[in-house]
Amino acid sequence: MKAHTHETQSTITPEKALEFLKEGNQRFVNNLKANRDLLEQVNATREGQWPFAVVLSCIDSRTSAELIFDQGLGDIFSIRIAGNFVNQDILGSMEFGCNVAGSKLVVVLGHTKCGALKGGLDAAQIEGLGMDNLNHLINHFDPIIKHVIEDGEERSSKNSDLLERLNHQNVKSAIEDIRKQSSTLRKLEEEGKIKIVGANYDVETGAVSWL
């Protein structure tokens, strides 16, 4: 498979971009990598890049978007932050990817057994470790935890059902934030030029489910 060019990118619809990722994950799960000459892709992308999708995922070492979607050099913009949430800088990166570089799809990719979300559930213990910036990060999830936790339910990373509900809601909240906080991306989506979708990666099976 060759790297995308401006011409091939321009023919990709948001629906086709999503299909590319679904097909790529199916290859990954079945251990069937697409045949790529990576050095040729290096040469082909020397003068520019034309990725078809922007993927926001966690920094978890098991969730490399290029690998789990079986994509090559120049195919996707990969944005990573613990807990796959958005802030102004990430939104700016997404706006660049779609409105400047021409990507047709934004994916917010959560994953099972997320350590950042576990930290949010166990915030009291984490805060006791004295890591100021990590404390700031995990506190981002507190409003979402309060939204999904039920009366009397144990707030703990050991509560696997709560953790998975939090994971799904965190993806949905990130998508809501993208639409609310970026008029650029919202307008592109309303015009049908991009899609904004959520997904969940299972660290036990390698499979991506689409929310």
- Mean pLDDT value across residues 118-124: 92
Q: Is the pLDDT of residue 57 over 80?
A: yes
CB 9 within 8 A of CB 45: no
**Domain-located, residue 79:** yes
What's the pTM value of the predicted model, to 2 decimals?
0.92
What pLDDT, in 10s, does the model give residues 105-117? Answer: 999 999 999 999 9
pLDDT at residue 7 in the model: 75
Considering only residues 129 and 188, tell me which one the structure prediction assigns the higher pLDDT.
188
Model pLDDT, residue 66: 95
Q: Answer whether residue 134 is part of any domain.
A: no
As for how many domains the chain has, the answer is: 1
* Mean pLDDT over each residue of the chain, to the nearest integer: 93
Over residues 63-85, the pLDDT tens digits come to 999 999 999 888 999 999 999 99
Range of the domain at 201: 6-114+167-210
What is the model's pLDDT at position 36? 73
In a domain, 138, yes or no: no
Q: What is the pLDDT of residue 126?
A: 75
Determine how many CB atoms are found less than 10 A away from the CB of residue 74: 20
Known binding residue 98? Answer is no
Residue 127 has pLDDT above 80, yes or no: no
Is 114 annotated as a binding-site member? yes
Residue 104 falls inside a structural domain: yes
Assess if residue 24 is contained within a domain.
yes
Find the CATH number of the domain harbouring 175. 3.40.1050.10
26 lies in some domain? yes
Per the domain annotation, does 62 fall within a domain? yes
Taking residues 34-40, what's their average pLDDT? 73
CB-CB contact of 48 with 84 (8 Å): no
Confidence grade of residue 48 (pLDDT, cut at 50, 70, 90): low
Does residue 140 contact residue 85 with C-beta atoms inside 8 Å? yes
What is the model's pLDDT at position 9?
82
What's the DSSP call for residue 208? E
The b-or-e profile of 106-142 (16+ CB within 10 A means b, else e) is bbbbbbbbbbbbbbbbbbeebeeeeeeeeeebbebbe
Write down the pLDDT at residue 156.
Answer: 96
More confident residue, 17 or 9: 17
